[in-house]
Amino acid sequence: MAKFHSNLLIAGLALVSFAAVASTTQEPAEQEPVKKESVALKNMKASKSVYVGAKKCKSCHNKEDRGGIYDKWTEMKHSHALETLKGDESIAIGKELGIEKPWEAAECLKCHETAFSEPKERKHKKFKTDLGVQCESCHGPGSGHVKARLVAAKAEKVEPGTLREIEKGEIFLPDEMLCRSCHNEESPSFEKFEFGERLEKIRHLHPKREKPRVVPPKKKKVKEEVKQ
């Protein structure tokens, strides 16, 4: 009987040992790819400025010697993003998703309306919500920028059309992940998004700026496999 129990003990230990080895040799479970964070979006949320709206930007950024940027924006799809939600195509897509009025749905407005998800205190009392994707969707809340520029203008006279660099943190430059926070598979009308191509369509440089400050990352060259 003792020999029988001994054999059982040995068999049990063998099974435990086999299970331990098997657990160490199993392939690791696939992990979801880590999503890159938008530095621009992170800075915007940390900013103490409030949203003032594109109309406020127009007073300075629509002058010819500065590139007429506001008028350029009005010709872009971004400025008509809210109107798009009232179009036949958007209404049809909304019905498929059970959304009766896309222009009132949070699922749509989070990307089609600037600062939609921001609390009331982060929006100036004159901020207009019906202008679609405005300047501050890409550059962050602009009250600090407006104040700084007014102070600088009073302190120092400069020639019209002068290119002046802004202080760090006063306003922000968009990055690819900021754009992809809306241009992604969550959108029912999503199409392939190529950052460089889209960037060129919305360029609005100051006439005296020789090189853009926002550029797409360089594509890595794929090495051809050497045939053996």
Helical H segments across the chain, by residue range: 2-25, 39-46, 54-61, 69-74, 81-84, 88-96, 106-112, 135-139, 143-155, 176-180, 195-201
* Domain parsing of the chain, residue ranges: 39-201
Letter for the amino acid at 76?
Answer: M
Residue 41 burial by CB count (10 A; 0-12/13-18/19+): exposed, middle or buried?
middle
Its pTM stands at 0.78
Q: Among candidates 38, 73, 37, 33, which has minimal Cα distance to 55?
A: 73
Contact between 32 and 41 under an 8 Å Cβ cutoff? The reply is no
At the topology level, CATH places domain 39-201 in: Flavocytochrome C3; Chain A, domain 2 (1.10.1130)
Angle at 141 between CA 139 and CA 146, to 5 degrees: 95
Q: pLDDT tens string for the chain (228 positions)? A: 444 444 433 444 343 343 444 444 444 444 444 457 899 999 999 999 999 999 999 999 999 998 999 999 999 999 999 999 999 999 999 999 999 999 999 999 999 999 999 999 999 999 999 999 999 999 999 999 999 999 988 888 877 778 888 888 899 999 999 999 999 999 998 989 999 999 999 999 899 998 899 988 777 665 555 444
